[in-house]
Chain A
């Protein structure tokens, strides 16, 4: 009940935000929070529901950003509304390739392959001058337009981002409560048992990777057309770190967790911007991650709502080791 009231209040606040957020800079922060909500939801599909940590998620974000930017720029000059799904498709394809290759592996090995993939893609973006203009990046990415109107104002862009974030949330919700979601949770909790009742582990994990990557691609496209500029910085590891913190602190394996995490970890650094330099923020992210593992292993949302799943003992990344002497 309380959760519903909170959600309703949140929805009203989000829809009316441009009316009461007077400072355009604060609206900018909200837009970034919306984009990061999409990214955190996307990472949560993999990390929270399959228990596999992708430390290369910035690659899918970056692929989406570059795809969308390149398609809407000369010589192609496609519409944003075509480029956005194309960005999702390109990132999804990359997710499929990585999923097919890497999801034979689990845990640390999966992490390493995703990091390496992001490293290679980032090097390509720096070195393939003809396509990406190298480290200088691509300026002048056009703003999306609807009929005769161009979404240049922050208010207009806020509604676009809000709509996409809601869509991303609904997609996640639909997936999690479907056969796919149940299969993923079963695999996360006990893979051999799940496979013994006929769940094809790799198939479902690849599916989750594709959807997750495509959503990150959408986030990338929205980012590119908002900042109107793409450079190899979109592949920065700090984007991945931010997503991981949002999911872990917010509550992995819950639908509301990444949303809360994204809002909190976009708003908090902005609120503290005056008080501390950005290096302190990233330092604090590292500490927050450690503190979360020790003291808040389930994340904020499950701890506050008291959800039933005992994540510390069973869930995804927090499985206890079987025998102390066992070795894979």
Chain B
């Protein structure tokens, strides 16, 4: 029982970052019809940006997180303007190929820049865990899950409560009508891609210090983000949040009770099963943002 509770807590920490990754991807997928195979590379980018800010520039942890988010947003906006905007109106598969190209190029650029060695990202939190009855949680992990929750809430507020969010939801529902109502679709696309990439970078900067930073870390992150999106249903923010938590907990339980070697198989199996039996996602009634 205590072990189960501990697994659940660890699962929540992991799940919070998976939810961040998933929300970014589901926005991009849902709003722009872009199958973003480079999503995990923005996660890697975030982790390395945090590493550079903390270990090389000596910035405080919180500023490093902000720097990672800024770098993610900037490169996301650049990618959208340079590669995605010229291809708007092309088939989803053509754009997917381009994103696969971006994925390969970005990953190997990271490899060239940082080398193949895994790097541990320094963080200022004490390593002694908080103890709460039978539960132990490291201060860093607590910070990760709280920050992730705050970022998810922020994303939700942005989309539900602001003018920009209203324009994004309108674009998602009907691009042409939204354009007729004066929404600049190009601008919304750039912002959406930058926003999604920033969330992925935030996830990388948060989870990087918990594990390690290495160039191919984005591969699994991409696949986990896709599992989350598929679990939650396309363009479904609440679904992505729940899907992320679910995947995190399922992985922890799988690693704890089945075999730690197959931890990453949980996400793969989830993709296969959900796509085959409930392709609209676990929680879907209708496809919509929010």
Contacts and interface: CB of A to CB of B under 8 A. Distances in A.
Contacts of A325: 174-177
B276 A127 contact: no
A279 B269 contact: no
Contacts of B175: 324-325
Interface in B144-180: 174-177
Interface stretch (A88-96, A113-121, A144-152): A113-121
Contacts of B105: 283, 285-287, 290
A116 B108 CA distance: 22
A8 interface: no
Nearest to A321: B91
A287 B107 CA distance: 12
Given A120-B269, A280-B112, A321-B92, A104 B276 contact: yes
Contact of A289 (B100, B230, B287): B100
Contact of B35 (A105, A108, A316): A108
Contacts of A51: 93
Contact of B276 (A101, A287, A321): A101
Given A117-B272, A123-B265, A318-B91, A111 B96 contact: yes
Most buried by A among B91, B112, B219, B259: B91
Contact of B104 (A116, A117, A283, A320): A283
Nearest to B86: A294
Interface in A239-298: 241, 244, 248, 277, 279-280, 282-283, 285-290, 293-294, 297
Contacts of B100: 55, 241, 244, 286, 289
B4 interface: no
B104 A286 contact: yes
A283 B90 CA distance: 25
A316 B92 CA distance: 11
A109 B279 contact: yes
A283 B267 CA distance: 27
Contacts of B176: 324-325
A320 B112 CA distance: 35
18 contacts: A53-B96, A101-B272, A102-B275, A102-B276, A111-B35, A116-B267, A119-B223, A120-B268, A120-B269, A123-B261, A248-B97, A282-B107, A286-B105, A287-B101, A316-B93, A321-B91, A324-B175, A325-B175
| Shortest 6 CB-CB contacts between residues of A and residues of B | A286-B105, A286-B104, A289-B101, A290-B101, A283-B108, A116-B268
Given A53-B93, A127-B261, 10 more contacts: A53-B97, A111-B96, A117-B272, A280-B112, A282-B108, A286-B100, A286-B101, A290-B101, A290-B102, A293-B101
Interface of A: 51, 53, 55, 101-102, 104-105, 107-109, 111-113, 115-117, 119-120, 123, 126-127, 237, 241, 244, 248, 277, 279-280, 282-283, 285-290, 293-294, 297, 316-321, 324-325, 327
